[in-house]
Chains A and B, each alone.
With several copies, the nearest count.
Chain A
């Protein structure tokens, strides 16, 4: 399954607004992050510390019931405030 993943902050600067990755059905957040890291190995570390959000909610561990209609985002460590 192909997912469009929104990118932000330094990842957006490096990779653009969206990255398209191939993942298994019902992927875990870690599988999505792994697919992004495989496509951008020099950003592996920051991708590793990022979280996945689905439809603007942070995800828990475990398989995610996501399809191509869902809004997926990779959220690097936040630094507001």
Chain B
């Protein structure tokens, strides 16, 4: 069964990874998005993430359910609040019997999360504050 979490707590990558381990799966693909220092010439100091919580959680369920229905396991966590450089903002993990599926579904989940889940970043860069990306 999928595990989904949006909260201000730091993302514990190892604990989330452990939720994906199971004798029935041979391949586990994870994506972790961290706060990057440079985007071209723009230097980021920190990021604040906010969410429309109940809707964001519903949207994650809509993403996870069809992948789980194919027999895989899905773990997604997104952090909100204040994040410093290299802090994990998002974890998306898929465990599946076959690795090709795990790669495809993990990338689909992060791509779709970035379009369909109401979470916003407010980036404090050295020169300005920027919403979005």
Contact = CB atoms under 8 A, between A and B. Distances in A.
Interface residues of A, number: 17
Contacts of B121: 79-80
A57 B118 CA distance: 11
B55 A79 contact: no
Given A6-B52, A10-B131, A76 B120 contact: yes
B16 interface: no
Contacts of A58: 116
Given A9-B120, A75-B118, A80 B131 contact: no
B54 A79 contact: no
B78 interface: yes
Contacts of A57: 55, 58
Interface string A1-39: 000001011101000000000000000000000000000
Q: Give the contact-size bracket for chain B.
A: 20 to 34
23 contacts: A6-B52, A8-B118, A8-B120, A9-B120, A9-B132, A10-B122, A53-B118, A56-B52, A58-B116, A75-B118, A76-B120, A78-B117, A79-B131, A79-B132, A80-B51, A80-B56, A80-B89, A80-B114, A80-B120, A81-B90, A81-B110, A81-B113, A81-B119
Contacts of B122: 9-10
A6 B90 CA distance: 25
Contact of B114 (A12, A53, A78): A78
Contact of A56 (B58, B78, B90): B58
